[in-house]
Structure 1
């Protein structure tokens, strides 16, 4: 599991690089192993063939001696027959020759005068049994003696009637020094070539893995940076790899489709927003029209020139109409303010002083102002700043129910790093959980009157000045709005 986890964490580039190096190492080890195996196999084949050739030559020579000897061809006479010839045979063929009787006891050896310790041992009964049961009447025994490999060939010595007279034993040491030196020389030369190959493999693997993954990295970067609300750049098809070209083409097609979808989505959202806004404005305008109509109709039915209270009735009628007209004007102004904000007239402002002045218009004695600094300078539009304060404080006042015995609104300002933090905190009814995600929606309101455009306008103003607005609220305990704006260090 741990190895699989580490492998998954490897990038594609590292996997390609490591795979190529691993293949080079494995192939080199296999080549060296096969070469050493081939060398050793050729050495065994060489010694086997050489022993067979020596054995055939010696048998022919022995047969010639047996055919020309004057001694009777018996097992007992074999020491006499080969007394003077066995050393000559051993010298000519460069091999030790031992002749045993049919029971495996040594009769004569080419070693000549030898000590007791060097007397060749008798042939084991097992070898004699194998030799006897062999179809070719020949057996080769392999042994390791003093870390040297020996091949010992056993065959029958026969008379002219092919009757076995004895057993010829030919001990043949495999002289592997030459082949071992060849192997060492080969491995030395191979290691030099292998080192060069390894360096070349590392270099090629590095550039190859980089080449393969460079376009993939470009595509990955482009995909990561792809956004729905902006123009995304395409990738030029410059790779010689068909697969990568296909991937780039697919990405470019996706960018085209994404741009088209974004355009259609933006248009649809704008149309939907304006439709919803038009419905809301129409609804708000219709609200005062009904009482206006009823007032006019009522006044028309009850109008009497001779009525002594006619002047008072006309004044009441006018006030009612003016009130409803003011309501319609308020709706139109709010819609106009939200649809097109006036151009910003930014200037350096002491936000502490501006907030204090904005709070002076409120008559509620439970509004308290706090500031850790006497002067915090920010650059923004004065009217916009006042609108932020008045809207948030007005909302806080409206959030406190009339039944609250200890109403409290705290407006505080403090400096946090390179920003000024403006907080408006109340102990009102709070914002319910289901309304928290909709609080900044343009048409959303929890009040019985108004269009719900205030916080939407405030959010737009704050973001246009590179700031941010957030809030925390707990139902039944109150709400705290926080506005963060950049300041000018003086």
Structure 2
């Protein structure tokens, strides 16, 4: 119980720091952007002269850009960076990153233990590369001067619908008094560096809906494990029936991030047309009961007349009791629900079917 309470406090601390860091970084970035623009205007005015002020202005511009990159790291920690996701096999991603990893200073050797099957995720490759490089650099620093291997591995946990990669070093380990603070912004046990590498990595992984776990024992080494939502392997599309365009878009994004293809319908008539068009090719239907055209028990009844075994998840702002004649469905989601609840319901229905 104490361990779970400590974990809850740690999560709350990270979220609070993230909100603070994101707000500060956003405001500072705006000020720095204005500073860079004004400096460039001043440099333009001096371009035809040999003024001694020009080199000073160039230094000001360079320093402002460096400060802006620091703000970008804080935004990444806060989970505010824009993500450009695409389907990626983590095995191939790591192999392609190997040249960059080998260039990281250090005396240790990197070995790979990759899952025999593809490890599919939907991620921003550039952002995830920052995480991988940061964790490997951290492991190399921890093992500095020791001729020990660092192991980069990939894994899949089908039961938890997660997958990811881990970095293991066999160095001196992390002292217990430091372990709970290593993801704090600017926390570092080194004399050099700003201590943002691990904090930024945590923010990037959390923005992808994942987690970073760390285990360390004195004189035994340290394991960092990055867990990400696994990409579902489904060729058959999901039909989303929802009259609110904004909600349809949110459902689509959540399902596509899960690796599912999506088709949409805004009315009862459109839903029946899509079902007739795709028939058994559909994997399931997410159905809002209050929409234009046939709706509620009538619409689900029409679906059940022809497709008795087609899985249906009802998504409604009304309690199920409001539809006493509603035919059976595989799950009932009461609005408002979050992304995690939607994906969990879809995963459970897909498994059961």
| TM-score bucket of the superposed structures, by smaller chain | 0.3 to 0.5
Q: TM-score, normalised by structure 1?
A: 0.33
Q: Which has the higher helix share?
A: 1
